[in-house]
Structure 1
Amino acid sequence: MAISNDYHVEVVKTEVVLPASVIQERILPLSNLDLAVPPVCVHVFFCYEKPPQTSFASVVSNLKSSLSRAFVSCYAFAGRLVSHGVGDLQMVCNNKGAEFSEAYADTCLTQVEFCNPNGAIEGKLVPQLVNDSEGNGTPVFAVQVTQFNCSRIVVSCTFEHKIADAFSANLFFSCWTNLSRNEPIESITPSFTRSILVPRDPPVYCSPIEEMYMKVVPSAESNMQIAQPALASRIYYLSADDIIKLQLSANQHGNSYTKLEAFSAYIWKLLIQSQNMEDAQNCNISIAVDGRSHLKNIGMPANYFGNAVLAPFASARAEDIKKEPLSWSAKLIHDAIYSVANEESFQSAVDFIEISKPSLVFPKIYRNKDEPYIIVSSGLRFPLYKFDHGWGKPRLAIYNLPYTSGYVMPTLSPYGDGSWLINMNLLIDQINAIESHPNFFSRLISPNIFCDQKNV
């Protein structure tokens, strides 16, 4: 069966889904960690088999009804992001709801090149966040449900990253799917408390935070947008055996590194080895660290909704990354992670951002475009394949940040056997270079991922 990105999607209906019951309008302050997130939207795709014994119209009706009920508890996604000046943002929870689009694709889902999401998905299956025509601000969430010729369905969502990290979005998806199945949501309802991520009095920060973030004077012209170079996106399959081999290689000489640390070291090393770089050139890798577990002693709820992530990074010369063993790179990554895996680092970050105002704060890894970098954001603990709306679990689930260069996100595969899917957005020449490297795991996912038998 021919694989192609040349297919047409027709949006036949778009409406605004409102909360099932009106809540009192309120302002949900953005925390300082929210403000430090780059201005990007996150796209999420859930691919489902043909729903048995129900029509597409019934599926759409159920999705809209359960989404409306989910907005009652997850009211932030039904609000608007309002700007009162450069760098001055507020989340207004005003019950305005989110756009819900119904669409049809003129091909079979198995003919779509999902291994290349930027080419195959973006612009076709992705809902856009459009400014409110009534001047109420910018929506922060949107949904598009697309039926293919084969009757398979893709539920795709877009959300504003400044409002939520991936953990928060998954809380929302859990609530939504539970309500679709008429199951309780009390144990997974998001918490919007903002009493934890507030500056101390007086604010004070430790020096590692200053190494992680940079102050940027805001300007109305730039609006702090990230440069959008020509990127290529790919989704690869990595077997459980390959992951274990990477970990064993990193753990030689009595080391003890996690699978994520070993994989991150591997992809960092591979990127540097596959390109012609000066030996003295600095190369960086950032690993997202979730603060929820580190802040629980001061009252952060496990179901905190918002951004609770720091972005420490390791830096080394290209020569050292290339010549030293995998364990050497893994140690740099391990040390970077654990330098911020504590309560003080997160409180220091909040204070540093406060002290920096009115300047904006931006991850320092973006500061020098001439220094290659990778940003690894792990989705390995997210239950993507449990998001069942009542007609079956997803066959494929994807997080994509199409405009974020250097983005690498491993998630569990749908097979449940310890294998991973790796979504990478890199510069085109970087993708070409690493795919041609003899040590690269060159297995793109294929449409066979939708088949009953395991065959990637």
Structure 2
Amino acid sequence: MIYSSYIRRNMIAVICIKIELRKSFEMGIPKDYNVEVVKREVVIPATVIQEHVLPFSNIDLTIPPGCFHVFFCYDKPFQTSFASVLSTQKSSLSRAFVSFPALAGRLVSHGNGDLQMVCNGKGGEFSEAYADTCIAQVEFYNPIAAIEGKLVPLLVKDSEGNSSPVFAVQVTEFSCGGIVVSCIFDHRIADSFSANLFLTCWANISRNESIGSITPSFTRSIFIPKDPSNYNSKIKNVYTKVQSFPQPNIQIPQPAITSRIYYLSAKDIEKLQQNANQNGNKYTKLEAFSAYLWKMLIQGQDIENTICCNMGITVDGRYRLTKMGMPSNYFGNVISLPFARARAEDIKKEPLSWSAKVIHDAIYSAANEEHFQSLVDFVEISKPSLVLPKICGFIDEPSIVVSSGLRFPLYKVDYGWGKPCLASYYLPFVPGYVMPTPSPYGDGSWLIYMNLLVDQLNAIESHPDFILHLISQNIYGGQKSLQFQPFKGF
């Protein structure tokens, strides 16, 4: 593969993580650096927003309290200063809020514990920060060590204590001039698709380009329950009633949880798919990868053969709810979390194609309008009880969730000084979470964010068929094909 000089230059300049990083990882000695937040301010919408309440849909109500981050690394801007970058970011964010009033609003808690999403124009926090190292020396392959407490903002309750912002951003300049833009979203307000819609809109405004079809739709009439409400009983195989959501853990338990960002080549992805598609089967690349990961996790751990193991796959309903009138630019949560379930013995001994079929069947069961309508009705009938994805309750069974970010054009989030050289989602408080996204190369390869229990990570990295590679100088130096061994199959 021949890369353009632009991509090659940026890959080397920004993500040139030194060979010594692999050695320091093996020794358990992370390289540290300091970040100083020098200014925090609130950016409000550019025009007055008439205060209104954005109703939660019944799908929103299945999302437990929690947030997710997305971060972007950029090379040093050559035609503008950091002060100009900050000014442009703030002014364009202010204008973007006009089209996305929910992200400039507040979650307001009432005395009875109910929450409302109030679009009141109070804005989102914008932090300006400086790091005392070169961006190329940051261990992005280890996000908890590299990012947590340094590059990501927090969502802090307002002084009254009864309302919370749902979006914040931190822009950090490194000693080399490189920049990291990191955002946090309250998941109850937006899923990854919605976040990407906003980020793309913000970037277009920053470049003085039209936002066109990026303008979001906030209609909630799509998810109105039937009258009378009814649902297919199969929905209880995926969701369950609970009295309360588990509270998010604001402390990262170390060393119980760890995170990594890996690279997976396009050739290895194709080989996984070919291996899964034996005997005339046809599975997607995501299904094949999920089956591969599931198999490695179970084979690499000392799990009794009779124990059931679960593989959750996030399904985005936007592409499947045409009859319900789903607009392609819907802002909110349109996700379901079905899961594959099998005994450890079967996952270990059966071929990759077997695991891929179990996963495929789980996805297929939820990838339709009947499933989402049943979920809407099940939530309605269950009130005042809450509804939670069933996989979240399997405490005594090995479980993992794969959420695809492969459709999201992260490398088009250009604010006017160039495309990002590295971008990834980041969910440090959700153990057993995996999210593949496109790599910066644009050649079909992936970057894969994993937040795992330490035992899970050890299981896959010690497996003889482990084919993922920590993002490193070799990857971003364009030498990956000279060093890595392709997948040979189980």
Q: TM-score range by the shorter chain?
A: over 0.9
Letter in 2 for 1:293: Y
1:418 corresponding residue in structure 2: 444
Q: Is the 8 A contact 1:86 1:223 kept in 2?
A: no
Letter in 2 for 1:77: L
Q: Distance in 1 between matches of 2:343 and 2:55?
A: 40
Letter in 1 for 2:356: A
Q: CA deviation at 1:116?
A: 0.7
Match of 1:293 among 297, 319, 326: 319
Matching of residues 387-406 of structure 1 within 5 Å: 387-406=413-432
Matching of residues 366-381 of structure 1 within 5 Å: 366-381=392-407
Q: CA deviation at 1:5?
A: 3.7
Match of 1:432 among 437, 458, 466: 458
Identity of aligned residues (%): 70
1:27 corresponding residue in structure 2: 53
Aligned length in residues: 453
Secondary structure in 1 aligned to 2:213?
helix
The CA deviation string for residues 403-433 of structure 1, in whole angstroms up to 9 with x for no partner, is 1011010111000111001111110111012
Q: Is the 8 A contact 2:311 2:340 kept in 1?
A: yes
Match of 1:324 among 338, 343, 350: 350
Q: Is the 8 A contact 1:40 1:401 kept in 2?
A: no
Q: Distance in 2 between matches of 1:135 and 1:252?
A: 57
Letter in 1 for 2:259: S
Secondary structure in 2 aligned to 1:296?
coil
Tell me if 1:51 matches 2:80: no
Match of 2:299 among 270, 273, 278: 273
The CA deviation string for residues 211-238 of structure 1, in whole angstroms up to 9 with x for no partner, is 111111128xx65769965211011110
Match of 1:194 among 220, 226, 239: 220
The CA deviation string for residues 82-112 of structure 1, in whole angstroms up to 9 with x for no partner, is 1225762210000000000000000011111
Q: Is the 8 A contact 2:66 2:248 kept in 1?
A: no
**Unaligned ranges ≥5, structure 1:** none
Q: Is the 8 A contact 2:224 2:376 kept in 1?
A: yes
Q: Distance in 2 between matches of 1:186 and 1:91?
A: 26
1:115 corresponding residue in structure 2: 141
Q: CA deviation at 1:136?
A: 5.8
1:105 corresponding residue in structure 2: 131
Q: CA deviation at 1:454?
A: 5.7
Q: Distance in 1 between matches of 2:374 and 2:249?
A: 25
The CA deviation string for residues 334-353 of structure 1, in whole angstroms up to 9 with x for no partner, is 11111111111101001101
Match of 1:361 among 387, 405, 420: 387
Q: Taking structure 1 as the reference length, what is the TM-score of the superposition?
A: 0.96
Secondary structure in 2 aligned to 1:260?
helix
Q: Is the 8 A contact 1:287 1:311 kept in 2?
A: yes
Shift in alpha-carbon separation, 1:85–1:454, aligned structure 2, 3 A: farther
Q: CA deviation at 1:293?
A: 1.9
1:96 corresponding residue in structure 2: 122
Secondary structure in 2 aligned to 1:362?
strand
Q: CA deviation at 1:367?
A: 1.2
The CA deviation string for residues 192-215 of structure 1, in whole angstroms up to 9 with x for no partner, is 111111211111111221111111
2:169 corresponding residue in structure 1: 143
Q: CA deviation at 1:368?
A: 2.1
The CA deviation string for residues 135-183 of structure 1, in whole angstroms up to 9 with x for no partner, is 5610000000000011000000001000000000000001100000000
Name whichever of 47-56 and 84-93 sits farther off: 84-93
Q: Distance in 2 between matches of 1:160 and 1:308?
A: 15
Q: Distance in 2 between matches of 1:442 and 1:198?
A: 43
Q: Distance in 2 between matches of 1:404 and 1:196?
A: 29
Matching of residues 145-294 of structure 1 within 5 Å: 145-218=171-244, 223=247, 230-294=256-320
Secondary structure in 1 aligned to 2:377?
helix
Q: Distance in 2 between matches of 1:454 and 1:292?
A: 38
The CA deviation string for residues 340-392 of structure 1, in whole angstroms up to 9 with x for no partner, is 11111101001101111111111110212110111010000000001100110
Shift in alpha-carbon separation, 1:224–1:446, aligned structure 2, 3 A: closer
Q: CA deviation at 1:294?
A: 1.6
Q: Is the 8 A contact 1:33 1:349 kept in 2?
A: yes
Shift in alpha-carbon separation, 1:338–1:272, aligned structure 2, 3 A: same
Shift in alpha-carbon separation, 1:368–1:227, aligned structure 2, 3 A: farther
Matching of residues 8-27 of structure 1 within 5 Å: 8-27=34-53
Q: Distance in 2 between matches of 1:244 and 1:28?
A: 43
**Unaligned ranges ≥5, structure 2:** 1-17, 22-29, 482-490
Secondary structure in 2 aligned to 1:426?
strand
Q: CA deviation at 1:443?
A: 1.0
Q: CA deviation at 1:53?
A: 1.4
Letter in 2 for 1:320: D
The CA deviation string for residues 250-275 of structure 1, in whole angstroms up to 9 with x for no partner, is 00000000000000000011100000
Q: Taking structure 2 as the reference length, what is the TM-score of the superposition?
A: 0.90
Q: Is the 8 A contact 2:411 2:423 kept in 1?
A: yes
Q: Distance in 2 between matches of 1:66 and 1:9?
A: 25
Q: Is the 8 A contact 1:395 1:450 kept in 2?
A: no
Q: Distance in 2 between matches of 1:373 and 1:316?
A: 11
Q: Distance in 1 between matches of 2:469 and 2:87?
A: 38
Secondary structure in 1 aligned to 2:59?
helix
Secondary structure in 2 aligned to 1:187?
helix
Letter in 2 for 1:58: S
Runs of 4+ in structure 1 deviating by more than 3 angstroms, as ranges, are 1-5, 222-229, 447-451, 453-456
Q: CA deviation at 1:447?
A: 4.7
Shift in alpha-carbon separation, 1:11–1:86, aligned structure 2, 3 A: same
Matching of residues 64-75 of structure 1 within 5 Å: 64-75=90-101
Secondary structure in 2 aligned to 1:344?
helix
2:88 corresponding residue in structure 1: 62
